[in-house]
Structure 1
């Protein structure tokens, strides 16, 4: 019941409390919203700080993969001091210990990496060289001082020299090569290789397919084309988002370890490789930015490609490496330089490595980029996907057929 009497000009209730006064002490709705926002911000900062301290490596990887510019600068300004604090307090150890405790899978026995053939070759400057009465080609290769005799008929002698070598002198011209500490360009890879055996249904050819998302597309083509054969067994290891210059994976602990385990499990005789879709991002590797096309970018790619091949060939075998296909966008303009790295790597590992030209089947008659294929009947078939990087099934099948022709030519498989 309301009392309508006036007291000092104020409207009151029976309890004597002022309605106007009660409104004066009510919370403003905007003030409550600001408080809720402040609480959410505080919780977010606590979660961010806690997560950064517990997983500093993940934060560093996040910073390294930011686009070059202000975003990477801000991310690095956060990740580096937080990482130092986490490691100094050993806050990153519990997460690693938990991961180790949960990983109960047995570790297979792996093989040591293969050793790349020594292909250095320079003329000997500390030896007197001569030949017999007929032309002789002499290559020096010894670990101690060596005296090499000559014959009266054309002869080829191979000896590697690490110390002074004296070779008998003759009256006719001589061609001499030797080995010293100076490195010359690697010898080119032969066009084909001779397979040590031809696969059968009872003992199929073991193929390990490795690479990035390009290989993910391609390995399905390998399964469709080569999987129909009873003399082939394929193990696919293509990885989405992977790259030799992508810091999401630790190179030694993740990538090389995975290669060693894959080889130990699959025991491949042939390793096929396609990679390159993610090598143009300019990511940071071990604190160093790698803009595509730069000299340091090429050096890191070459180093990692060489280490990768050494792990693939730990049990022997042969590597077939596809060139990275040309792509539509201009940001992939350095693809030719990338392929130069792959070519040099395979040349250095010859005769255990061969190159396959992906644009021989994905390109037009001149080997240039194309989005579609025109069939003999005039029908148009899409070849490359939306962004002009990956390829549809028809492209994967063409590449798989290209590999099959190479395997038949090299003696691994019989024609069908």
Structure 2
């Protein structure tokens, strides 16, 4: 993960002008050839960024201490969040919400950061996902404060929600997750292989997508350095009306409702791609064979997390316009919620109650992006809105 210094005022004039629109309509086509930021904008119709909130979203929970990133909801409505150790005081990095309050999960001990036992404790969890078998999977970056990881830190951990006990821990070899990686988000297809597969984005280091055989624990990396997974060159986001250059690679991830395609996007871009899950899941496929299945799906807003539903639609946040969008199967986009309170939509999750849940955490206002000055204004939020569709469950 990298951070670059601010650009000058000229960059603000050029890029802000190209990004002044907020309401999404239609489809767009930007190349996956790492264009400059000002060349990746898509069609939109103007709407005032400070206008009234649109969309019937509800604040489910507020967080006044550590900053959350991940959200997932079990089939019976249990809600789990995570708090990566990126500089805040984080006594526990995975939690279950009980009566609206985070409680360490599955217990306080495993949440205790312990450099002497990297594999046995959660070091810095970026993502939590409930799979189709109603198990909670925890993705530990092993990289507190983006400082790099060592073997045993980066891992995938399964928790049985019936017993509230860890039932599986998969460690990543440094050849798959090197020290400068930042594994970010994950999706599952439990119909593949003997016990299913996980697919994980890497937003740092070599970027790319990691496939994991859940039966054997074997993992492999694909699309490392591919144009579809790396940040756009000279990318500059416009956040709070100011330019913020950044270099984050493959980040958001979503799986198609038929299990054929995996959607993903670098955070530092305004483009969307997909790849064949058959190719990714094949440990014998070469990088070139996997890359040959990549599709350029054109423009999308700058988004952190991605999510999909049973109607073949995709969701994401538009970080530059405080909104949530939906991409329809025909490639058209809709803004489904917008308001000043939706500053930096991080992870999204579709639940069995046919709502879309989203973490709002002001990620870009952290001190690491502003010469040590923390501009975040608490509380952080967990919101939800009705979408009349359910979660994609493959297995």
TM-score by length of 1: 0.23
User: Which has the larger Rg?
Assistant: 1
In terms of fraction of residues, the more strand-rich structure is 2
In terms of fraction of residues, the more helix-rich structure is 1
Higher relative contact order (CA 8 A, sep 6+): 2
